[in-house]
Amino acid sequence: MKKSDRQLGMDRDITRRDFIHDLSLASLGLAMPMGAMAGANGGEPQPAGADYPPVRTGMRGSHPGAFETAHALARNGKKFSDLVDLEETYDLVVVGAGISGLAAAYYYRKQFGADSRILILENHDDFGGHARRNEFHQGGQMRLSWGGTMNLEFPMFSDTANALLDELGVDIDELLEGYEFEYGSGPKGSPSVYFDAETYGRSELVHGFSFREGGGGDVGSMIGRFPISADSRESLASFYTRRENVFEGKSAAEVKEILSGISYTGFLKQYGGLTDEAADLFIKTTHGYWGLGADSLSARECINAGLPIMHLLGYPYLSGSGDDDAGGEVAMFPDGNASIARLLVHALIPDVSPGSNARNIALARFDYSRLDQAASPVRLRLESTVVNVQNNGPGTRVTYANHGQLVRVESRHTVLACYHRIIPYLCPDMPREQKEAQQYQVKRPLILTNVLLRDSKAFDRLDISGTYCPGRLHGAVWQVKGVNTAGYRHDWEDAGPVPVMFWGSVAPPDSRVPPKEQHRASRARLLAMSFEDFEREVRTVLDGMLGPAGFDVQQDILAITVNRWPHGYAYDYLDLWDPDWPPGQAPHEIARRPLGNITIANADAGADAYTHIAIDQAWRAVTDLPAGQIPS
């Protein structure tokens, strides 16, 4: 029987910081006095005190107050007035304090001089973009998790990305030595699949089974517990035990063409023998990794995501090239790539965290009151939403809203490190062809909800480290332990407080439509959900999955942080949906062209959702800037 909100513990006093939606009225009305603005008129920002963004819980990521001004500009065509000129002049203004924006500021100082005056503007209340740190203290000892970008896919790094990490002091080998996190597959506890009663009629936790790897030698008995039809169970059991080459006699080119032209679920049905019901169980396996279901991705793409397919292509194993559930060999900090953002901020503004380095960055405390100091050559101004950027003679002019006030600064150069689809609204002077190219790339929604549990005893009793939930909002759930790097330790044997991550993307109402339509529909659903909707979801899942092992849903949840990213992953081109363009004519290549003293740096500009892509594009954007004469 479905439990009430009170039975789920929804009335418990955990810190939410779920700001009411009316908070946005201040930013839209632009009515607050100048005295409320950090750094206004050259003054010092208000001290942050204990207000430290990484520890904030509730609705984070794209939180209320961070996006309403941009929506008013892009959706409603709002015209902004009552402008105040701050009479601040910079060598560079960067729009966006994600990794690409921070890297652009870093590269600018290398190319144009360490004394360059730089202002970085960020619409959120924290820096890092999707590289977001989630820090918990509710259980006593500090526990870390990440709220977005997590992996360093170092085998794919360019020389540019490798050089930046070297300069920041990041040693991949050291990170790998302390890396024992396996995305819900261990090293302590087995993978599992959780079928919830609301979706499947009964609650069933199947221990030891992974959709990527099967279930060892007893796969038939495991699948026999799945609450699906007998025909579907039989087709799944047959699929996991087969070893053959369904394309025997075909050339490698022919096989590639077939795999690129059929969806993964289509392949499962046509060549794997699965029923529709059985194939649909795989849809959410790619939600967190791609921001898109396996029914909209090609079979070739899902090989790279590590989904089972190779055993039907003549290989003696199931999964593709991915070594883990996120695909491929990676290194990691305990707060994900937030540590890269923090190292960049420290390199730009050392006073924010004296003594920080790559070996202790996970434990470093950052003084946010130091981010926007008038005497510093680099200033980072949070809660500042840019609404207009234009070339102005030998330089640029940037207008933004900060705490209800519309203000303007001047700069020799500007780097736009925001996502492509907002740029036409910020820069109406962009050529039409460039605006159309920027509109082509529709960001993929992403959600990472971190729940701090009082302890990991229920997980330990069930002998699981995580689970796949094909019927729930988040496709994957796992304990966050074993990333013992950068001064931080959280061993798998520690049964104390533990962050549990819910990872995925909101499913669209109709996954048969093109991906960009899916993304828009998923984004609308995501923005319409309240914090309570997410809280109810994670409490329901944890109660059903862990309740039989002694988990008390009313008492054992200490904090919940929802990292909501309606504009999440960069749009990369898909086998089933996007054409091949001639060199230099792909939308992302047209979209990133310089415009006078304005250049563009972001993951969209590289058409791939990786940290190293954001770094590479930051370098390109800075080198695209006209040298000219830097103001004295």
Matching residue, tokens 């010092």: 44
- Say how many C-beta atoms besides its own lie within 10 A of residue 433's C-beta: 11
| Maximum Cα–Cα distance across the chain | 76
CATH: 3.50.50.60, 2.60.120.10, 3.30.70.3040, 1.20.1260.120. Which one for 65-127+371-441+581-624?
Answer: 3.50.50.60
- Residue 13 has phi, psi (to 5 degrees) of -90, 85
Looking at the chain, the number of H-run helices and the number of E-run strands are 22, 17
Weakest-pLDDT range from 82-86, 510-514, 619-623: 82-86
In sequence order, the β-bridge partners of residue 502 are 449, 477
Q: Compute the mean pLDDT over every residue in the chain, rounded to the nearest whole number.
A: 90
Report angle CA 130, 507, 536 to the nearest 5 degrees: 80
- 1-31+151-210+442-569: CATH number: 3.90.660
- Say how many C-beta atoms besides its own lie within 10 A of residue 31's C-beta: 11
Q: Where are the CATH 3.90.660 domain residues in the chain?
A: 1-31+151-210+442-569
The answer, yes or no, to whether residue 346 has pLDDT greater than 90, is: yes
> What pLDDT, in 10s, does the model give residues 367-398?
999 999 999 999 999 999 999 999 999 999 99
Query: Which H or E run contains 476?
Result: strand 476-479
In sequence order, the β-bridge partners of residue 152 are 331
189: left (phi over 0), alpha (psi -120 to 50) or beta: left
pLDDT at 2: 85
Closest residue by Cα to residue 349 from 323, 313, 373, 384: 373
- Confirm if 275 and 231 have CB atoms less than 8 A apart: yes
Matching residue, tokens 């909707």: 533
% pLDDT > 90, the chain = 83
Query: Which H or E run contains 407?
Result: strand 405-416
Q: Where are the CATH 3.50.50.60 domain residues in the chain?
A: 65-127+371-441+581-624
d(CA 303, CA 624) in angstroms, rounded, equals: 36
The answer, yes or no, to whether residue 356 has pLDDT greater than 50, is: yes
Cα–Cα separations (whole angstroms), residue 463 to 191, 381, 460, 467: 9, 46, 5, 11
β-strand 384-392 against 395-402: which pairing, if any?
Answer: antiparallel
For 223, what's the count of Cα atoms within 13 Å in the CB-facing half-sphere? Answer: 25
> What pLDDT, in 10s, does the model give residues 463-483?
999 999 999 999 999 999 999
pLDDT at 71: 78
pTM given for the model: 0.92
